[in-house]
Structure 1
Amino acid sequence: MALWKCVRCLVFLLFLWTFQRGDAEVCILKQSCILKCNFNPGDDVVIHWIMVAGNIPVHSYYHNQDQLTRQDQRFMSRTSLLKDQISKGNASLKLTTVEVQDGGRYKCYTSTITGNKETFIDLNVEAPVAEVDIQKVENRITCSSEGIYPKPELTWSTSPPSSVTFKNTTTVQETEQQLYNISGSLMVSDSGTDVAYSCTVSSGEHRRTATLFKQLNKTSTTETTIDCPSSKAPLTVLIWRFNHSQIIVTQTGANVPYKVSEEWRQQVKAVSESGNLALTGLTPDQQGAYTCEFSNEEETNVGSTFLRIEESKGSDINVGIVIVAIGIIAAAAGVAGFFYWKKRKHNSKQTGGNISDNKTGSKARDDEGSEMLM
């Protein structure tokens, strides 16, 4: 007999739990959300939305209008009903600017002349992983993400897969807004192998991966094109940086024109559809690390290239040719001047001799004439 009573008790509790379990609704932090509730239409409609934990009044409606005098302050100006749907039996509640504290169980109580009804909804608040930052300083790779809910996890992987055991440290901090920040670091050996390191941050059903490709070294003159590690998925954000901080180019969509920062307008020649950066007019001041961050809804790929600027050898050759040509012209001019001077001197001597001979002949003729007169 006692056993039968226990069975009946368990069946009743199971039925009660199933009846009050309610539907689950996932709401994204800081966005709007609809908590659904339906009832049989009728006259004299009464609607009460209540947060079960603490029996907190959320929204009330009767006498054909909202009744918010008892509404809890935390929900003020953030709740509304679909007024044109109430007569059709729709008592759904719209909640705006969702907060972490809004998570929990809600009861929708409806009443008409035809009867009463209670509906339970479990509101789950999520702040998805929006961005994962990954970078390498010397032999340490760091990965971090902020503003996440519920509590996230961080994992590492490599491509191609590696048998190396990761020695990483991960820390999770809770903010005053009850959100979570997570960060992790990984020590790697600079073995020179072509390995890409990936960091995945997961929270609930949401996850995002950031991949750091091996840094490349490149030597160029005044013009070059630097490749960006892209993905098959459509581009969401493209950012090119110089020395990890100075922004060169930004692009916020596949069909959105890219924007070049003021400091780099003279150097940026073009950006390809795959994110490759074409540069021109480079000087030794532009020698350094060029980092490409290519993101879409699922992942972020980061590639870094250290660009070494060399002076153009062609320019040196041209300068040498000009100098040699100037030397040859100067030497030729000197030789020509020397011969001109020598010739002029020779002509001067010949002219002087002729004049003396003329004077001597003239004097002889004068003497001969004088003798004939005598």
Structure 2
Amino acid sequence: MKLCWVAAYLLLWILLLTADGDSEVSCVFMERCILPCSFQTGKEIVIHWFKVPGDLHVHSFYYSKDQLGHQDQRFRNRTSLFKDQISRGNASLQLTGVQVQDQSRYKCHTSTIRGNQESFINLKVDAPVHEVSIDQVGNRITCSSEGIYPEPQLTWSTSPPSNITFTNTTTVQQPEQLLYSITSSLMVSAGVYDLLFICTISTRRNRRRATLRKLADISAPSTKVTIPCTPPNTTLTNFSLVWSFNHTQTIVKQTGTNVTYSVSDGWKQQVKEVSESGSLVLKDLSSKQEGGYTCELSNAEETHSTNTHLRIIKGGHSNAAAIVTAVLFGTVLVAALLYIYTKVLPSFAPRSPAQEQVGSCSRVTG
């Protein structure tokens, strides 16, 4: 019977240990993070934080003050305790400037005259996806992002669906920070317009997507042209707007919280306005403004890009205006020929003797 009680006690103790497993904390790269630890307060408080395995000294506190003589160099000037709460049993550690190398298991050891306590915390580091860039050069569309941890996943889709193949490469950005860069590209057949390409990059913490739509080329006069922007199915107040030229020159910037927009110095003579839908209205153009225009709308979760190539029609007339001018000219020309045929030519026609005699009689009678 006694052995049964001992076995039952041991089983209960194992179950309690299992239930009281490691805590888990998710920290954001380069931000501050708190590793929780509590203890039964008492006199002669001693607190030790270790990174395991290896028991690297992270932070120590005893004799009522920090004791950092044995602190590992990688944690120097990055750790602190909540001094005003230690007496109430709070031994939590604050870690600033979180690095990928900080990801590990940590041990919080506390001691008072009442006894010792230990708890373990698993720290996971996340560098979320902050920005996804999508761009088209020629027939190649490229999607990329950088500064991510852990290794991200990238997926392509199109709307409507299509059978386009793509290549995907993942590289480590900086060995000392262990952050990932990811790049993927696909080849698009020439003449493919109004197909929405969707690139999604995700990690265990978040996901962002970027879309790109290539519109048909625009041919317009130099006097005035409107370049459309195809916004998502939402209000533009949630998005920031950037218009750029040939992927190098910024034309216009507009934030989602501010309805006004700022125009770059080199484009103040050409920008007439930005419409409520985000379309760019230009004026007084020359051959220097002929090229690719990109409208980029972005918020905290997604980025939408629209590419359009503009051709300037020499002479300042569009195709439609040229057609109208030609029709009007043809109409006037036909009217003039009819007038000449019916009014002018008969007066030069030769007359018969009878017509001459009638004309003479008419003159005598008059």
> Match of 2:227?
226
User: For 1:88, what is the secondary structure of its paired residue?
Assistant: coil
Contact 2:125 2:149 in 1 (8 A): yes
Aligned partners of 1:117 and 1:242: how far apart in 2? 63
> Match of 1:307?
310
Aligned partners of 1:185 and 1:11: how far apart in 2? 57
User: For 1:150, what is the secondary structure of its paired residue?
Assistant: coil
Q: In structure 2, do the counterparts of structure 1 residues 134 and 246 end up closer, same or farther at CA, with 3 Å as the change threshold? A: same
Please state how far the C-alpha of 1:260 moved relative to its aligned partner.
2.1
Q: TM-score, normalised by structure 1?
A: 0.75
Aligned partners of 1:264 and 1:249: how far apart in 2? 8
Where do 1:65-144 residues align within 5 Å?
65-144=65-144
> Match of 1:26?
26
Q: In structure 2, do the counterparts of structure 1 residues 61 and 275 end up closer, same or farther at CA, with 3 Å as the change threshold? A: farther
> Match of 2:145?
145
Please state how far the C-alpha of 1:66 moved relative to its aligned partner.
0.7
Please state how far the C-alpha of 1:286 moved relative to its aligned partner.
0.8
> Is the deviation greater in 175-184 or in 245-254?
245-254
> Is the deviation greater in 189-198 or in 292-301?
189-198
Aligned partners of 1:87 and 1:259: how far apart in 2? 55
Q: In structure 2, do the counterparts of structure 1 residues 72 and 181 end up closer, same or farther at CA, with 3 Å as the change threshold? A: same
CA RMSD of aligned residues (A): 2.9
Amino acid at match of 2:36: K
Aligned partners of 2:259 and 2:39: how far apart in 1? 47
Please state how far the C-alpha of 1:65 moved relative to its aligned partner.
0.9
Unaligned segments of structure 2, at least 5 residues: 326-366
Where do 1:171-182 residues align within 5 Å?
171-174=169-172, 175-176=174-175, 177-182=177-182
Contact 2:142 2:186 in 1 (8 A): yes
Aligned-pair identity in percent equals: 52
Please state how far the C-alpha of 1:9 moved relative to its aligned partner.
9.4
Please state how far the C-alpha of 1:212 moved relative to its aligned partner.
0.9
Amino acid at match of 1:293: E
Contact 2:193 2:216 in 1 (8 A): no
Contact 2:193 2:213 in 1 (8 A): no
Aligned partners of 2:297 and 2:155: how far apart in 1? 20
Please state how far the C-alpha of 1:35 moved relative to its aligned partner.
1.3
Q: TM-score, normalised by structure 2?
A: 0.76
Unaligned segments of structure 1, at least 5 residues: 318-374
Aligned partners of 1:25 and 1:252: how far apart in 2? 35
Q: In structure 2, do the counterparts of structure 1 residues 11 and 148 end up closer, same or farther at CA, with 3 Å as the change threshold? A: farther
Contact 2:25 2:35 in 1 (8 A): yes
Aligned partners of 1:66 and 1:257: how far apart in 2? 53
> Match of 2:294?
291
Please state how far the C-alpha of 1:150 moved relative to its aligned partner.
0.2
Aligned partners of 1:43 and 1:86: how far apart in 2? 11
User: For 2:303, what is the secondary structure of its paired residue?
Assistant: strand
Instruction: Give 2:167's match in structure 1, choosing from 163, 166, 169.
Output: 169
Please state how far the C-alpha of 1:313 moved relative to its aligned partner.
4.1
Contact 2:31 2:96 in 1 (8 A): yes
Q: Does 1:264 align with 2:262?
A: no
Considering fraction of residues, name the structure with more helix: 1
Contact 1:229 1:294 in 2 (8 A): no
Aligned partners of 1:305 and 1:187: how far apart in 2? 18
Aligned partners of 2:96 and 2:217: how far apart in 1? 50
> Match of 1:248?
251
Contact 2:194 2:215 in 1 (8 A): no
Please state how far the C-alpha of 1:100 moved relative to its aligned partner.
0.4
Q: In structure 2, do the counterparts of structure 1 residues 80 and 252 end up closer, same or farther at CA, with 3 Å as the change threshold? A: farther
Q: In structure 2, do the counterparts of structure 1 residues 313 and 249 end up closer, same or farther at CA, with 3 Å as the change threshold? A: closer
User: For 2:238, what is the secondary structure of its paired residue?
Assistant: coil
> Match of 1:37?
37
Please state how far the C-alpha of 1:52 moved relative to its aligned partner.
1.4
User: For 1:161, what is the secondary structure of its paired residue?
Assistant: coil
> Match of 1:366?
none
Contact 1:235 1:294 in 2 (8 A): no
What is the number of residues matched between the two proteins?
311
> Is the deviation greater in 249-258 or in 82-91?
249-258
Q: In structure 2, do the counterparts of structure 1 residues 309 and 7 end up closer, same or farther at CA, with 3 Å as the change threshold? A: farther
Q: In structure 2, do the counterparts of structure 1 residues 34 and 253 end up closer, same or farther at CA, with 3 Å as the change threshold? A: farther
Amino acid at match of 2:167: T
CA deviation profile, 1:171-225 (whole Å, cap 9, x unmatched)? 1112312111111111233464532111111111311111111233223332233
Contact 2:156 2:200 in 1 (8 A): yes
Amino acid at match of 1:35: L
Q: Does 1:277 align with 2:280?
A: yes
Please state how far the C-alpha of 1:69 moved relative to its aligned partner.
0.5
CA deviation profile, 1:319-356 (whole Å, cap 9, x unmatched)? xxxxxxxxxxxxxxxxxxxxxxxxxxxxxxxxxxxxxx
Please state how far the C-alpha of 1:274 moved relative to its aligned partner.
4.2
Please state how far the C-alpha of 1:300 moved relative to its aligned partner.
0.8
